[in-house]
Amino acid sequence: MLKLLQQLYKRKVAFAGFVFMVALVLSALLAPWVSGSDPLEINPIERLQSPSASHWFGTDNFGRDTWSRVIYGARMTVITGLGVVIFAIFFGVLFGTLSAYYQGLGLVLMRIVDVMMAFPSLLLALVLVSILNPSVINVIIAVGITYLTTTARIIYSLTLKLREEPFVEAIISAGAGHFRVIARHIIPNLISPIIVQATFIFAFALLQTAALDFLGVGLPPEIPSWGNMLTEARMYITRAPWLLFFPGIMIVLTVLSLNLVGDVLRDRLDPRFQDDVG
């Protein structure tokens, strides 16, 4: 772990990304204290004010404080992002390892995964949310399903390779059951690629949920997420450009940080991984 931080520190830009991520998670956790005011408090007298000492990021059309909303948006980002990551990784690992282990099942499951990959992810999420109705959980499920398939694919090919490793053969011939082999020997060897994959899924999930918000089928509009803020900002594009700027730049910085850190993790944790996903 310490070595990893040293590695990160050597690549200044990636380190900056790491610091940004830590700051983001901290402000998400401590949102009520960091924000300084209520993100939902309506104040018609102070509507559409440009950034100032009392409102760092200005105010929106209801006079709500943009800084506070951006901080609470960070909280929403962490919740949906982690939700998607956990959902996609859990089911991706489950389907991936089982498919590689039981070839008959794998034939069917991987065929379905192949087909799912032909569906553009945003379209799939769009249709799923419209069927499930917009809510935080349903957005997580709809976006998660699209990354479940890619995760299952990667885990599948890695597990196939692991299965042929001498140490796995040795454990099987020593009489270990299937469950034991998968839980104790296959999955621990998949941890590194899973961590790397998680950073990229988080980044894509943020872009995807923001796009869903913008299309009007994402998180319910009363929730202060960055995507919802940008959707509202669209109406005031000439009168209040700062409403368009701050949430947008937050998305960019977050995705950039995740990708930078993800690249370092990939180089550090698993050099083989690069070959497997191209």
Partner 1 sequence: MIPTLFISAVIIFSFIHLIPGDPASVMLGEQATPEQVEALKEHLGLNQPLYVQFIRWLGNVLRGDLGQSVFFQEPVTKVIASGAETSLWLASISMALILFLGIPIGMLSAIKYNSFWDQAVSGGAMFAAAVPTFWLGLNLMFVFAVVLGWFPSSGFPSIVESGDFTHLRYLILPAVTLAAPNSALIIRLVRASMLDVMKDDYVRTARAKGLSEWAVNLRHVFRNSLLSIVATLGFTFVALVSGTVVTETVFSLPGIGRLVVQSVLRRDYPVIQGVILVIVLLYLVINLIVDILYTYLDPRVKYDD
Question: Binding to partner 1 by residue 238, rule CB under 8 A?
Answer: yes
Which of 117, 118, 122, 95 lies closest to 218, judged by CA? 122
Does 217 bind partner 1 (CB under 8 A)? Our answer is: yes
> What is the Cα–Cα distance from 235 to 239, expressed in whole angstroms?
9
Instruction: Work out whether 211 is an interface residue with partner 1 (CB under 8 A).
Output: yes
Which residues does 188 contact at the CB level (< 8 Å), separation at least 6?
none
Q: Does 251 bind partner 1 (CB under 8 A)?
A: yes
Interface with partner 1 (CB under 8 A), residue from 16, 94, 117, 136: 117
For 54, the token pair is 């009392």
Residue among 216, 221, 272, 276 that touches partner 1 (CB under 8 A): 216
- What DSSP string runs through 113-141? HHHHTTS-HHHHHHHHHHHH-S-HHHHHH
Interaction of residue 230 with partner 1, rule CB under 8 A: yes
d(CA 58, CA 64): 9
- Of 137 and 170, the one with the shorter C-beta distance to partner 1 is 137
Nearer to partner 1, 166 or 278 (CB): 278
Using alpha carbons, list the distances in angstroms from residue 85 to 102, 200, 203: 25, 9, 10
The binder of partner 1 chosen from 36, 120, 220, 221 (CB under 8 A): 120
The answer to whether residue 210 forms part of the interface with partner 1 (CB under 8 A) is yes
Secondary structure (3-state) at 242: helix
Where do contacts with partner 1 occur on this chain (CB under 8 A)? 111-112, 114-123, 126-127, 130-131, 203, 207, 210-211, 214-217, 230, 233-234, 237-238, 241, 244, 248, 251-253, 255-256, 259-260, 278
